[in-house]
Chains A and B, each alone.
Chain A
């Protein structure tokens, strides 16, 4: 039982490059989330998926897209990376409205 896994752990991009962050959970949770964490800012919700087949914007969705591929997987895509997207990205999953379980994070640097 791996919980929530994220790939990659680290990534360096150049401005304008694209990439997809992968997230998977094996806890049969309905809800999944993507957050970014910047120094002193706490966690800010980018997108979430309350159940398979649905996605909704969070606080800071601009510059990102998501795909809820199936119940287990929820990916985050940066189409054209910008230095302002340098951050630590956390994926989380939860039973509906319940405790969130977080992945280990992806540390992204955009040059």
Chain B
């Protein structure tokens, strides 16, 4: 079992809709969680990080963490075609495990 699991997708949503990306992790000792976006052929770039249970909002993005359920999610509101990318979830303490990524397609 991988330390961090994601549905590989692709997840297709129409422009303007909410995209919901999910991630589960197996190590209860993990303290920090990150969402990265990766465009094809490019390196990952940070979208959001979350350390505490609950929701964290930043513009169109909301990260949610539930440590009891070992679950992390990312909501993207008002999805745009430019949001089409692979989204990577990562968790850990000093070293971090990445999920295999969820490919998001936002259709105009």
**Interfacial residues, chain A to chain B (CB-CB below 8 A):** 31, 33, 35, 40-45, 48, 50, 56, 58-59, 90, 96-105
Does B98 lie at the interface of the complex (its beta carbon under 8 Å from any beta carbon of A)? yes
- Interface flags for B23-51 (1: CB within 8 Å of A; 0: not) read 00000000110100000001111100100
Interface size on B, residues (CB 8 A): 22
Q: Report the minimal beta-carbon distance from B49 to chain A, rounded to whole angstroms.
A: 6
Q: Report the minimal beta-carbon distance from A60 to chain B, rounded to whole angstroms.
A: 12
Q: Report the minimal beta-carbon distance from A26 to chain B, rounded to whole angstroms.
A: 16
Does B80 lie at the interface of the complex (its beta carbon under 8 Å from any beta carbon of A)? no
User: Given contacts A97-B32, A104-B43, are A42 and B100 in contact (CB under 8 A)?
Assistant: yes
Q: Interface of chain A, helix or strand or loop or mixed?
A: loop
User: Given contacts A45-B96, A45-B97, A59-B97, are A99 and B43 in contact (CB under 8 A)?
Assistant: no
What separation, in Å, do the CA atoms of A97 and B33 have in the docked complex?
10
Q: Which residues of B contact A35 (CB under 8 A)?
A: 98
Does B60 lie at the interface of the complex (its beta carbon under 8 Å from any beta carbon of A)? no
Q: Which residues of A contact B96 (CB under 8 A)?
A: 33, 45, 100
Does B22 lie at the interface of the complex (its beta carbon under 8 Å from any beta carbon of A)? no
Whether A102 and B43, one on each chain, are in contact in the complex, defined by CB atoms closer than 8 angstroms, is yes
Whether B34 and A103, one on each chain, are in contact in the complex, defined by CB atoms closer than 8 angstroms, is no
- Interface flags for B53-94 (1: CB within 8 Å of A; 0: not) read 000000000000000000000000000000000001010011
Q: Can you name the residue of chain A whose Cβ is closest to the Cβ of B43?
A: A102
Whether B97 and A105, one on each chain, are in contact in the complex, defined by CB atoms closer than 8 angstroms, is no
Q: Which residues of B contact A99 (CB under 8 A)?
A: 34, 46, 49
